Chains A and B, each alone.
Chain A
């Protein structure tokens, strides 16, 4: 278990810069997620920590020591790959034992440790089988067992869930988090799936085009997005351009079209100052109500329902208010509003965030 530090890391491939100068500290025992769309540099960062790629500039430190010149086989890392990467010609037990053979571990201890790892991933009886005989989810558990049995300083997970079916993915998500909690290893998880990131992480690093957009806890990046990109990438948001008419310690007074004045809490608009500003309004915070409903404490407007995207528990509405379209995701009880209905839409200012314009 170790702290991982990326110190002014840059990675270029020829003339293309995959990772712009990046500083990142991953405290010991943290589950940190690198989140972003494909091509944002998250996998490049992971591969540099792993030692599969050399940084063009900067230094990577694991447990206080620079590892720039330490080859991958001496870094003591556990890596789980998206496609499992189990050795097909070795039995499950031999797969799990693989890393132990390169460590000074008496061979009499190896079977016991392998069994312990298999128990931990809840597949105690498959040691004699070959990877091909296991399902995708089981193979991924074995890959995890193989990575953690060596007691790595850092566990690196490269989109380990994306090859799995949707249901299995959610089970594995819980499972993976449970195991990480149990062994307490510093973990770097790469994914493009925001719900995985929100559900599992202690810290999320949102990346875009080779740059870090925001670092924070799941609640922070979700509720206080630092940029328009973050606001849109984590869930659906309405970004309304307007202006800030005044800011004090408590609130930033934003003035936006359609809804008018919105007093956003100052700590949710840290970079906003007087002048142009943007209001971030989460789609699930924008509520549709029948006309005349009680809207105490809300900022409201009249709107017409344009499109209804029914999803069972929730429904996604596209509504038109004034000359603008907004997106709203509401829980429903009974029937959704019909297309063409005129409704009152509203939200609480404390649920909003502000961005500089």
Chain B
């Protein structure tokens, strides 16, 4: 075999394990889900194989689903904005600190060593009726009776921010860290104040990182079901909870499939828009 032929084959050999894994574990199940979504669950509880549009009709026309889809997107959007507002200054601080960047980044990654579910549930110990915050407020005498702070949309957003903030910080950090500090000095020397040079130079140059972090926060936030399950009330269900409900509780796989594909299409469209304007490369940088 010639050198050229061997070199031409090499990428495929190296890619084979990853491609097989993606095909077997992602693509094939996805095809199953698509097929399922056209089956029909009969009154007896059995699935009727065939090509029925009933699930799709229900998913797309029932106001209940549409409302929850919108509220899911709203919660994800609020979470993303909060993450951006909190994460940007933190990322800026890390990127501009000398020497101890590694330690600060390590501290940022520390929460990932604890299970996401545990981290989410820890808020119950903090905000619960007999939690840390209520105990503190009562002992100081600010309140007489414990306040019910948990199980509403705010705590869901709080949990999501807690979960997603590091993704935002990392992405913005990577972007900021790549900006030559001489650019700000140059802007200052030309007459711009620190704030003006931030707005004119640093902020625009870090927008790709902010967008990448925003996309990650939004997609992960919109697809979550554990946070609303643990920290939300009965009316705070998000779209993924509906899928969970349909598939696990009602064992209605065809409807659950149609619902999950709906969310996939909406979030997929967002990713496509992002890719169209900013490209995936920036996202990969942030994840690396």
- Enumerate chain A interface residues (CB-CB to B < 8 A): 50-52, 71-79, 81, 83, 85-89, 98-99, 101-103, 146-147, 150, 156
Smallest beta-carbon distance B173→chain A, Å: 19
A150 touches B191 (CB 8 A): yes
- Flag whether B67 is at the interface (Cβ < 8 A): no
**Could you say which of B186, B192, B193, B204 contacts A81, with CB atoms under 8 Å apart?**
B186
Q: Which residues of A contact B204 (CB under 8 A)?
A: 89
Query: A88-B205, A89-B204 given as contacts; is B193 within 8 A of A73 (CB)?
Result: yes
Select the residue from A51, A74, A83, A98 with max chain B CB neighbours within 10 A: A98
Select the residue from B185, B190, B204 with max chain A CB neighbours within 10 A: B190
What are 23 A-to-B residue pairs whose CB atoms are below 8 Å? Answer: A50-B185, A51-B189, A52-B185, A73-B190, A73-B196, A74-B191, A78-B189, A79-B189, A83-B180, A83-B182, A85-B180, A85-B182, A85-B186, A89-B204, A89-B205, A98-B187, A98-B200, A101-B191, A102-B190, A102-B192, A102-B196, A147-B190, A156-B189
Q: A101 to B197: give the CA distance in the assembly, Å.
A: 12
Using CB atoms, name the residue of chain B closest to A78: B189
Name the prevailing secondary structure of the B interface residues.
Answer: helix
Smallest beta-carbon distance B142→chain A, Å: 44
B185 touches A99 (CB 8 A): no
Smallest beta-carbon distance B68→chain A, Å: 40
Given contacts A87-B200, A147-B189, 8 further A-B contacts (CB under 8 A): A73-B193, A73-B196, A79-B189, A85-B180, A85-B185, A89-B205, A98-B190, A99-B191
Q: A150 to B191: give the CA distance in the assembly, Å.
A: 9
Using CB atoms, name the residue of chain B closest to A77: B189
- Flag whether B19 is at the interface (Cβ < 8 A): no
Select the residue from A87, A88, A146 with max chain B CB neighbours within 10 A: A87
Q: Which residues of B contact A86 (CB under 8 A)?
A: 186
Query: A73-B192, A85-B180, A102-B196 given as contacts; is B187 within 8 A of A79 (CB)?
Result: no
**Could you say which of B190, B193, B194, B201 contacts A146, with CB atoms under 8 Å apart?**
B190
- Flag whether B143 is at the interface (Cβ < 8 A): no
A150 touches B190 (CB 8 A): yes
Q: Which residues of B contact A87 (CB under 8 A)?
A: 183, 186-187, 200-201
- Flag whether B135 is at the interface (Cβ < 8 A): no
- What are the interface flags for B189-215 relative to A under an 8 Å C-beta threshold, 1 for contact and 0 otherwise? 111111010001100110000000000
Q: A58 to B124: give the CA distance in the assembly, Å.
A: 59
- What are the interface flags for B160-191 relative to A under an 8 Å C-beta threshold, 1 for contact and 0 otherwise? 00000000000000000000101101111111
Q: Which residues of B contact A150 (CB under 8 A)?
A: 190-191
A81 touches B205 (CB 8 A): no
Smallest beta-carbon distance B116→chain A, Å: 36
Smallest beta-carbon distance A215→chain B, Å: 26
Q: Which residues of B contact A103 (CB under 8 A)?
A: 191
Q: Which residues of B contact A77 (CB under 8 A)?
A: 189
Q: A89 to B189: give the CA distance in the assembly, Å.
A: 18
Q: A102 to B187: give the CA distance in the assembly, Å.
A: 10
Q: Which residues of A contact B201 (CB under 8 A)?
A: 87, 89
**Could you say which of B183, B191, B194, B196 contacts A85, with CB atoms under 8 Å apart?**
B183
Q: Which residues of B contact A99 (CB under 8 A)?
A: 190-191
A72 touches B180 (CB 8 A): no
Smallest beta-carbon distance B281→chain A, Å: 16
Q: Which residues of B contact A89 (CB under 8 A)?
A: 201, 204-205
Using CB atoms, name the residue of chain A closest to B193: A73
Q: Which residues of B contact A83 (CB under 8 A)?
A: 180, 182
- What are the interface flags for B28-40 relative to A under an 8 Å C-beta threshold, 1 for contact and 0 otherwise? 0000000000000
Q: Which residues of A contact B186 (CB under 8 A)?
A: 79, 81, 85-87, 146
Smallest beta-carbon distance A235→chain B, Å: 32
Using CB atoms, name the residue of chain B closest to A79: B189
B191 touches A81 (CB 8 A): no
Q: A75 to B180: give the CA distance in the assembly, Å.
A: 22
A102 touches B185 (CB 8 A): no
A50 touches B183 (CB 8 A): no
Q: A78 to B183: give the CA distance in the assembly, Å.
A: 13
Using CB atoms, name the residue of chain A closest to B186: A85
Q: Which residues of B contact A71 (CB under 8 A)?
A: 188, 193
Smallest beta-carbon distance B189→chain A, Å: 4
Query: A89-B204, A102-B196 given as contacts; is B190 within 8 A of A81 (CB)?
Result: no
Using CB atoms, name the residue of chain A closest to B204: A89
B191 touches A102 (CB 8 A): yes
Q: A103 to B189: give the CA distance in the assembly, Å.
A: 12
Q: Which residues of A contact B196 (CB under 8 A)?
A: 73, 102
A-B pairs, top 9 by smallest CB distance, nearest first, are A102-B191, A99-B190, A85-B182, A85-B186, A79-B189, A72-B188, A81-B182, A73-B188, A73-B191
Smallest beta-carbon distance B175→chain A, Å: 12
Q: A153 to B16: give the CA distance in the assembly, Å.
A: 64
Smallest beta-carbon distance B99→chain A, Å: 13
Smallest beta-carbon distance A149→chain B, Å: 9
Q: Which residues of A contact B180 (CB under 8 A)?
A: 83, 85
Smallest beta-carbon distance B181→chain A, Å: 9
Q: A186 to B190: give the CA distance in the assembly, Å.
A: 17
Q: A102 to B191: give the CA distance in the assembly, Å.
A: 6
Q: A75 to B193: give the CA distance in the assembly, Å.
A: 12
Q: Which residues of A contact B205 (CB under 8 A)?
A: 88-89
Select the residue from B180, B183, B186 with max chain A CB neighbours within 10 A: B186
Q: A205 to B182: give the CA distance in the assembly, Å.
A: 25
Using CB atoms, name the residue of chain B closest to A146: B190
Smallest beta-carbon distance A102→chain B, Å: 3
A50 touches B182 (CB 8 A): no
Smallest beta-carbon distance B196→chain A, Å: 7
Smallest beta-carbon distance A304→chain B, Å: 52
